[in-house]
Chains A and B, each alone.
Chain A
Amino acid sequence: MSRESQTSTKRLVTKLMLTVVGMFGFGFAMVPLYDVICDITGLNGKTGDQVVQQTETVMVGDREITVQFLAQNAAGMDWEFRANDPQVKVKPGEIKVVSYHASNSHNYIMTGQAIPSVAPNEAAQYLKKLECFCFQEQVLQPGESVDMGIRFFVDESIPEHITKLTLSYSLFDITDYEKPQAAVTLN
């Protein structure tokens, strides 16, 4: 190869290597990108990232929306875990309080983390939580039972055709996580 074409090969290969590095980075960039897209669209039933601050009920209209509550243990978890109120009817904007029950029947301390999901997906962004047990890890002593609360409202801008939505919690056993930071970024 002539020297001229050697330098142009070198330049081309450098560019291609940079592309490779860039695409490797892009693979990782897809992680926050995916979270942002999920936040905006409610894809996968994720329910917003933050605690919503709202103190008083601002009821709008008189339509009623049924909110159903489901509970399930993820694989490897065997707490008794159920919703105390399987379903409630709410008006858009009305603040409601419901609770879940959990008990640890083992003879050792366990830590659980609940992960929420809303169906239908498009309803996820209209379900606003003021308070939720899923914001923290739940540490239960041997044999301990707790009732864990959720304070929420359904945003008044929820589309007309959604008359029923389901909030489902999967409870994971995170006892063995060395330093569980799970809850921090969670919704």
Chain B
Amino acid sequence: MSAAHDDHHHGPAKGLSRWLFTTNHKDIGTLYLWFSFAMFLLGGSFAMVIRAELFQPGLQLVEPNFFNQMTTMHGLIMVFGAVMPAFVGLANWMIPMMIGAPDMALPRMNNWSFWILPFAFAMLSSTLLMDAGAPNFGWTFYAPLSTTYAPETVTFFIFAVHIMGASSIMGAINIIATVLNMRAPGMTLMKMPLFVWTWLITAYLLIAVMPVLAGVVTMMLFDIHFGTSFFNAAGGGDPVLFQHVFWFFGHPEVYIMILPAFGVISAIIPTFARKRLFGYDSMVYATASIAFLSFIVWAHHMFTVGMPIAGELFFMYATMLIAVPTGVKVFNWVATMFRGSMTFETPMLFAIAFVVLFTMGGFTGLMLAITPADFQYHDTYFVVAHFHYVLVPGAVFSIMAATYYWLPKWTGHMYDERLGKLHFWLSFIGVNILFFPQHFLGLAGMPRRIPDYALQFADFNWISSIGGFLFGASQLILLVVVIKCIKGGKKATAQVWDGAKGLEWTVASPAPYHTFTTPPNPDLIEAP
């Protein structure tokens, strides 16, 4: 290739430096997605250890302390390493293409915000190899368990969280700047695809709460190393304060993990129902309402610590209020499918499973919101079942749906539909066998985060573990599908799906390295 030609058309650099120094939103999106998948497998392997130990009552495979390290690392890695980076990866890939922008607004920062992540997780995971062992205080790292009684490796954990937080904040700033400043002419806010809307709102949530997370781990650092007493009762601090600060971050965090999923589902269902999304405006307002409400419900995670009755009532009603905008969304998805010409390709299967199973997770969330009932459910497997229903067949299924949906656009090839469907059905069946019995376990009183349990819980744990192994193993099919699709397959058209709407489908498949260097024709931009 001649130098003159290169000047005219920048291709990606060759070799490793392409990935190290890239500022291209598509490359960075790809890096995020592969990183997230690697973390998904790592966090998943920890889950397999947990399910293997719980397969039978009694202690078989691991020490209780190691079991605690597994539950902690599983939670941390899945939340901060798998789900969040996956959505950032999707945002990097799709947002510029959806709004007709040539790249993200701050490409160099984009590179930085990805490349600090592997270091954060290498540091966190390295604690597993240390004498003191990995963090063992649960992913919610309640003080004083994570301060006074923590293993010495807690400092690695603290700095890892700092780095993850910095990465998320940079990613969020980049997305806001891109969406607000880089939209193509004619792409008004109320014409943006919902994935862009939900990410814009998510990015604001990240900016608001990730610094609070950084603050709370900084307080821990000071308590552990510098003799302060933020959370130390003997020194005048208050362990309950930790829970308030943590959940002020933690509750918006759960919406950070689910709002982009709403955006993905709102893109996929109209495509395969071949109808416009029902109630676009109400979707935008519902997302914004959920984001606002997420700031005033945090104490529903801690009803049992003791609170004035007025406080418990306030947090109970505010929590239940979230069901209203969420219900609007579910209604809109169902109304979009109603009398549509539906076909059931893999992305649509995952999307429909999302709607059904996420709604179930939402209902158990309502049950947990009822203060007097929560005293019974608190810290039982019912809670585990609830948040896994919203996170696995919720957030994770939406990421898989998005992967199948946009894979032809990324690789230029159609994926293997037969394998995709196999992956879906095994995941769908596996996830329900895995988590549905955990509702019963929780209602019967089995506490969470224990390596051993009373005999009456044996049957449901056995079933749940079988489902866990099935679900875990079937994720390898996704890896096969993606690799096969990168290597070859039926050529994808630019349109890919005949019902798909939006600017990303106007560029060739695979998407050229640079897209929309000149803005798209404003006439092509229509409200979704």
Contacts and interface: CB of A to CB of B under 8 A. Distances in A.
B15 interface: no
Nearest to B239: A44
Interface in A12-28: 12-13, 16-17, 19-24, 26-28
Interface string A84-125: 000000000000000000000000000001010000011000
Given A24-B215, A26-B212, A16 B207 contact: yes
Given A23-B208, A23-B212, A9 B177 contact: yes
Contact of B207 (A19, A44, A184): A19
Given A16-B207, A30-B248, A44 B240 contact: yes
B245 interface: yes
Interface string A165-179: 000001011100110
A107 B105 CA distance: 67
B180 A12 contact: yes
Contact of A115 (B169, B172, B176, B234): B234
Contacts of B245: 27, 30-31
Interface in B222-244: 227, 229-230, 233-236, 238, 240-241, 244
Contacts of A17: 173
Nearest to B229: A182
Contact of A174 (B215, B234, B311): B234
Interface residues of B, number: 39
B238 A44 contact: yes
B177 A177 contact: no
B307 interface: yes
A154 B230 CA distance: 30
A185 interface: yes
B113 to A, nearest CB: 13
A27 B211 contact: yes
Interface size class for chain A? 35 or more
Contacts of B216: 27
Interface in B57-87: none
B342 interface: no
A43 B307 contact: yes
Contacts of B236: 115, 182-186
Interface of A: 1, 5, 8-9, 12-13, 16-17, 19-24, 26-28, 30-31, 34, 38, 41, 43-46, 74, 113, 115, 121-122, 170, 172-174, 177-178, 180-186
Interface of B: 105-106, 169, 172-173, 176-177, 180-182, 207-216, 219, 227, 229-230, 233-236, 238, 240-241, 244-245, 248, 305-308, 311
Given A27-B215, A34-B238, A43-B307, 15 more contacts: A1-B105, A1-B182, A9-B106, A12-B181, A13-B177, A24-B212, A24-B214, A26-B211, A27-B212, A27-B213, A27-B219, A74-B233, A115-B236, A121-B307, A172-B233
